[in-house]
Amino acid sequence: MRCKHYITMQDPKNEDKRHVTELAKETLAFMAKNQIAVTPKNFEDWFFVLCKAKEEEHLLTDQNLFILYEDYLKDKPQILNDFEAKQVSQELKDVASDSEDIVSLMDNNIEKHKRYIQDSKEMIKTKDEDKLNELYSKIDALEQENSLLKEKIAKNIQKLDSLQNKFHEFKKLGYEDPLTGLANRRGFEEDLQTLMAAGGPLYLVYLDIDNFKSINDTYGHSVGDEVLKDVGEILNNFIRKDTRAYRLGGEEFAILIPNVSEENSYKIAERIRKVIENHNIRLKDGDKEEKIISYTASFGITGYKEGESMDEFVDRADKAMYQAKKAGKNRVVIL
């Protein structure tokens, strides 16, 4: 099962619909049994937990599921918080409105300055000291008002800088996997749609870490995280400049390779496979002997066929990767 895919997909195929329906029923039954409020967020979270627990073949006891809840949710696809997005949008509107008011006041003050200058010329001619003093007072007041407007402008600039940082954070949250630094499933789907629409040769590589559940069970999830980060680093260092790697969720990754032949796409995947195979993670645990962990990954490759849907393209890459698993793992299969 592909739990990340189930959460984000919009138009599931019949087989996926059956899995999703069964999981939804089990999720609702579990929530009812444990008196968990059936809110949209709670349902999404527990649906994901049950899906992942089944995927990794855990015993589906209530105790196990509650233990897995905290661990699994850190890996769940992050979605931009609607409240935060609306809040930032409202702040932008407030800054824009305030800036318009400031510009209007500045324009008005410029007109006042012009009138005061003209009046001062007349008063100098007539040598009317009282009126000149009154005019000087008006000019002082105007300068103070302009000084306050400058402070407001400076504050608005700070607000815009802060909002820009928030947008960068939201973008990172929405399109980047926080553990590996790779783009996430959302970024993958957007890039894939763009490349499919652009036309030209396009190859999709799916890779999945072999025996990842065993790594987690043997060494703990913190070591599993180190393996995931290691794969992310390898992908960043060993892909071409015009390609991009993604973490789709769990131990599953993808690479999009445009404008290459099937043969070259295979060479790229095979080179990365060999790097992973020959790469070790060294772990120190206090004074204990250093642990050396090695791991492998299985790869599936497929080329885009003009006119097919994104789901068809992705499913074929997924099947190729599972064929590599069935054939003995640690290999590349083209479909």
Residues with catalytic function: 251
Beta partners for residue 300, in sequence order: 206, 333
- Alpha-carbon dihedral 314, 280, 214, 247, rounded to 10 degrees: -30
Three-class secondary structure of residue 290 per DSSP: coil
Rounded Cα distance, 209 and 11, in Å: 27
Residues contacting 202, CB < 8 A, separation 6+:
195, 196, 256, 257, 258, 259, 303, 304
- The sign of the torsion formed by the CA atoms of 81, 82, 88, 89 equals positive
List the alpha helices (DSSP H) in 278-326.
Answer: 310-326
Tokens of 150: 């400058």
Through-space distance between the first and last CA atoms of the chain, rounded to whole angstroms: 20
Tokens of 99: 């800036």
Evaluate whether 80 touches 170 at the Cβ level (below 8 Å).
yes
Rounded Cα distance, 246 and 8, in Å: 15
Supply the DSSP symbol for 285.
-
Evaluate whether 52 touches 27 at the Cβ level (below 8 Å).
no
Nearest Cα residue to 321 out of 250, 260, 234, 219: 250
Tokens of 197: 């629409």
